[in-house]
Structure formats: C-alpha cells, structure tokens
Amino acid sequence: MNLKPDILIVGAGVAGITCALKCQEEGLSFLLVEKSERVGGRLGSINEEGYVFDIGFQVFNTSYHKTKTFLDLNQLDLRVFKPGAAIYIGNKFKIISDPIRDLNKIFNTLFSGIPTLADKVRILKLKYSLSNYSLECDTSKDVHTFIFLKEYGFSEQIISNFFKPFFAGVFLEKKLQTSSKFFKYVFSKFNQGLASIPSKGMQEIPENMLRSIDQKNLLLGSELMFLPKEKKIKLKNGLTIIPNQIILTGNSQKLITKEDLHYNQVKTLYFSSKECPNYSEYIHIFPEEIFINNIAFLTSISPKYSENNDNLLSVSVLEDTKASESELIHHVTDRLENIYGGNFNFLKYFNIRQATINHPVNYFDKKIKTLADEGIYLSGDNLIHGSIEGAVISSIQVMEELKGKLT
C-alpha cells in the first residue's frame, strides 16, 4: 500500500471510484479511502434472505453515456422498465406510455383519459425541444418545475395526475419546487434513455466500476476525521498518509467547506407477494394516495432480485409522516391488499435521510469550485447535478484540472 500517493481520494461512491479510474488511466498513484465497509455511497444494495434490497428505489438511465464508458455493460446486465407509467386513479390503473418507443401501448396512451389532446401535443413539443438539452447552455430563467409546467400550458389534470407523482419519485419532493432546469435535464434523459436496474441490484454499478482497480489501492472502514494543514493525514485506524493532492467527494467535502449538503429524503418499504399484478413492467404511481408515491415490481424487471420464487416490490413514501414505522408498515400493507388484492408480506424498511441532492431554483447559477484549498479538490454530484452521471462528470472535470498540476 502506497502511503505517499500522488492523490488521496476520500469517499468510494461513484465520484470517488471515477477519480480512481482516471488516476489509473493517467498512471498516477492513488489511495481510495472509504469510511464504510462497502463502496457506492448513496448507491447500493443489501442482500438478505434471498432478496436484493436496493437502498431506496433507484434506477440507472441508459442515456448516462459518460458513466457507461466506465462500465462493463455485458456484465452489468441492465434490465429496463417500460417507458411511461401505470397511474392508479379512480380505483383503476391507466397507462401513460411513450407511443414513439412503445407502439404496442399507443391505444392505451391515446385513450387513457389523463392527458388532454392539447397536453399530448405539448408533451411531444417538449420532447423535441429538449432532445439536445444542455444544462450548461440553458440561459432561461429558472423557476419551480410546477410553474414551468403551468407556463408551458399543461393542464392541471396532467400536472396533478402524472407530472407531480412521477417526478416526485425522481426529485423526492411532492410540490415540484425543484429547479426547472433540473426538470428539463431529467426529462431529456428519460426522453433519450430508459429507466433500468442491473439484474442483481444497484450495488452492481459501483462494484462493476471497481472491477479494474487494484484492491491494494482501496481502503474500506477507514474514516478521515479532519484535514491537518500540513496534509499529513492520520486515519481513524491509525494509518498515516502523506499525499501530494487530495480529492474530497460527497459528504467528505464538509471537512473543508464546513457546509452540509442539502438532501431530499424518502422511506422505502419492501414487500413480497405470490401474485404479480397487471402492468408490472411499468413503474406504478399514485396521485391520490396519502403515503404511497410509487411502486416498482422489481422481479418483473429482473427475476434475480428474489431467489424465493415470489415477487419483490418496493414502495416509496415521501410524506414526512408522524406515523411510526410499524404504523406506516400496517397502513401500506392495507393499501397494497386493497389496490392489488392478495397478500403482501413486509420484508424490509429503509428511512433514507440523504437520498438525493436537493435542487432549488437557481441551484445551477452558482459557480462550480473544484479547488477548495491549496492541493485540496472537491468532486461529487452536488457540483454538477444530483445523479450518477453528475458524479461521473464532476470527477472527470476535477481530474482534468488536477492532471495539469502533476504532469
């Protein structure tokens, strides 16, 4: 193990792993340290009792082209959801699909009764206007996503019954107060690609990225408590590292910035069932439910999520409810059995307080600052946009800047 590396990378999430891969590509010595016992940061899975539980419902968009360059896609074995959503309204499901990519569902989409004819025209117009969208080149006024949709001319019906519940599941906030620029970015990505999951769970993404990194350059269970000015760094486990340069990723950035990152939160509940409902290849969304925002039938997309010959589903709850964990489980179980029929067996509960970066209006007006102090750099999706792709882009940019200092 090199304890005097060119670069010390703190945090083995997607940003940290990308930095490590770029170091390796450039022939730079590095050490990647992570305080937990697994890689991936906010992206990951837990395998228990024959099930794969992702840490919150997460997807990989197949249009994340920068990220895909660091992945072995054959090994990752991505499985895709159908484009669109199954919307539960008036005690029945209605399909809103993308008729351009899913011709089999064009009839359901045209006659679902949720979008008006004018809404359908506006959706197509928005799709084409954002087909080559770039956040960096967007000079329009940033507003709440809800205001953007209203000003674009969408009806209250489609905003309430589709845009709010669907994008609430992405932003993890129900009022659509997220930056309209981030909405346009996410919409463009769903327009270009499909929501997917690796066949064996989201933990496969960081593990797949890590496949070519020499394990002697990775130190798990090693927390960096503070940054001394002389950069002679002592880890909690007693090791001392003297790097040339340091990259702080994710939450480790606050070691120098002293600023907490702002996140949106979610509660995710996992259930098993013997029966699989109709439209299980779509994400199910619930505009009229108090607690349930969206449900994904994961084994309908990848049977490898369960070894138990049953169906595994995740339920996302966005409300900051005062209900206890047991009360919430009881309520959600009742609603599942009322909506779908049959019996549902509760398996796992996650209360994720740091699920995704919060993007308020004017979030993208701030100047990206990768050099925090002499020899100390920052990387993470918070510096670009809250996504897997954002983390990768941030790391590519910081490594380009850093490379010039070391060559």
- Same structural domain for residues 30 and 51? no
pLDDT tens digits, 159-184? 998 999 999 999 999 999 999 999 99
Clarify whether residues 242 and 380 are in a common domain: yes
pLDDT in tens, 186-217: 999 999 999 999 999 999 999 999 998 999 99
110: in domain: no
CA 262 vs. chain centroid, Å, equals 15
Within a domain: residue 208?
Answer: yes
Q: Is residue 228 part of a domain?
A: yes
Residue 20: predicted pLDDT? 97
Judge whether 28 and 12 are in contact, CB under 8 Å: no
pTM of the model: 0.93
Please tell me whether residues 226 and 348 are part of one structural domain: no
- Give a yes or no: residue 132 inside a domain: no
Q: Pick from 152, 86, 149: which is nearest to 114 by CA?
A: 86
Whether the per-residue pLDDT at 101 is higher than 80: the answer is no
Domain at 71, CATH number = 3.90.660.10
Q: What is the pLDDT of residues 276-300, one digit of tens each?
A: 999 999 999 999 998 999 999 999 9
Contact 380, 50 (CB under 8 A): no
Is there a single domain that holds both residue 372 and residue 245?
yes
Identify whether residues 352 and 373 lie together within a single domain.
Answer: no
The range of the structural domain enclosing residue 234 comes to 7-44+203-260+366-406
The CATH number linked to 372 is 3.50.50.60
pLDDT value of residue 160: 92
Number of H helices, E strands in the chain: 14, 20
> How far apart, in whole angstroms, are the C-alpha atoms of residue 282 and residue 339?
16
Question: What average pLDDT is seen over the chain?
Answer: 91
* Res. 104: pLDDT tops 90: no
Give percent of the chain with pLDDT exceeding 70.
94
Nearest to 382 by CA among 401, 404, 405, 366: 366
User: Where a domain ends, among 318, 340, 357?
Assistant: 357
pLDDT at 373 over 90: no
How many domains does the chain divide into? 2
Nearest Cα residue to 138 out of 173, 183, 178, 168 = 183
- Same domain flag for 276 and 325: yes
Residue 75 counted as domain residue: yes
Name which residue leads in pLDDT, 53 or 230: 53
Q: Does some domain include residue 289?
A: yes
Asked if residue 332 and residue 373 are part of one domain, the reply reads no
Same domain, 278 and 348: yes
DSSP per residue over 187-210, as a string?
A: HHHHHHS-EEEETT-TTHHHHHHG
Whether 320 and 375 share a structural domain: no
Q: Do 325 and 343 fall within a single domain?
A: yes
- 371 shares a domain with 250: yes
Residues 389 and 320 both lie in one domain: no
Question: What pLDDT was estimated at residue 236?
Answer: 75
Residue 341 has pLDDT above 90, yes or no: yes
Residue 170 lies in a domain: no
- Flag whether 279 is in a domain: yes
